[in-house]
Amino acid sequence: MAENILEVIKLNKAYGALQATKNLSFSVARGHIHAIIGPNGAGKTTLVNQLTGDILSDSGKILFQAQDISRLKDYRRARLGIARSFQITHIFENLTVAENMALSICAHSSHNFRFWRKGLQSGVVREKLADCLSRVDLEKRGHIVASALSHGEKRQLEVGMALTGQPDLLILDEPMAGMGPGGTVELSKLIQKLKGSTTILLVEHDMDVVFSLADMITVLVYGENILTAPPAEIRQNKDVQAAYLGEQD
């Protein structure tokens, strides 16, 4: 059995009467692309936010590399090697594309109390910036203020920023949201390329993408894990079809 990088144990989160995450347990094997699917309102984004620390869980445990991170602040978890992209684009709209990327690169240095040298010219940034930009096809857009990018480009930047630190676990929350077919293909290729070097937890609506990329899929319905299995098994499972796949057509 492969070593698990992430273990989620009996996680709960309620908003008033609404149980967004219900006694949820699953584990993610190192090196896998693990997809989370589920109908709208299944609690996918809530789960992501619980994992990254944007939301504190009511109860349950999150073990990352065998360390309990359930009570750590978001920036501490990021420091441990969990990177994420947001479903709704979170980029620094007031900075240029290059500055956005530079900031993500700098984030992984021990500290950034560096007041004098230009941020864009600091060693780590010069070393990595070009690669980081070209990885998400933004090398020609570096000087543009991020707010002026097209929606698709903003999504590319969003994912690109999550990738800069070579995270151990990359959580992608609907990275394809609002992307055209071309963008979706490009991004799928990128995710495929990352496979092996990093573990990816992928929350995605596009079933073609999920079934072509994922090693393992967890199906979430009303905050509960109804099945975690390889794609082939998921496709044939009657519960899953009833809960989710049937709604697609």
**Which residues of the chain form contacts with another protein (CB under 8 A)?**
52, 54, 73-76, 78-79, 83-84, 86, 90-95, 99-100, 102-104, 106-109, 112-120, 122, 145, 161-162, 165
Give me the least distance between CB of 145 and another protein, in Å please.
Answer: 7
74 or 186: CB nearest another protein = 74
Give me the least distance between CB of 121 and another protein, in Å please.
Answer: 9
Give me the least distance between CB of 102 and another protein, in Å please.
Answer: 6
Give me the least distance between CB of 67 and another protein, in Å please.
Answer: 15
36 or 146: CB nearest another protein = 146
Give me the least distance between CB of 124 and another protein, in Å please.
Answer: 9
What DSSP assignment string belongs to 10-68? EEEEEETTEEEEEEEEEEEETT-EEEEE-STTSSHHHHHHHHHTSS--SEEEEEETTEE
What residues pair up with 30 in beta bridges, in sequence order?
none
> Using CA atoms, how far apart are residues 235 and 243, in angstroms rounded to an integer?
12
Structure token pair of residue 128: 């990595």
Residue 79 makes CB contacts below 8 A (sequence gap 6+) with none
H or E element at residue 243? helix 238-243
> Using CA atoms, how far apart are residues 21 and 243, in angstroms rounded to an integer?
17
3-state secondary structure of 161: helix
77 or 240: CB nearest another protein = 77
Give me the least distance between CB of 91 and another protein, in Å please.
Answer: 7
Structure token pair of residue 10: 């009996």
Q: Do 187 and 204 meet the contact criterion of CB atoms below 8 Å apart?
A: no
Beta strand pairing call for 224-229 and 169-173: unpaired
135 or 243: CB nearest another protein = 135
82 or 240: CB nearest another protein = 82
5 or 157: CB nearest another protein = 157
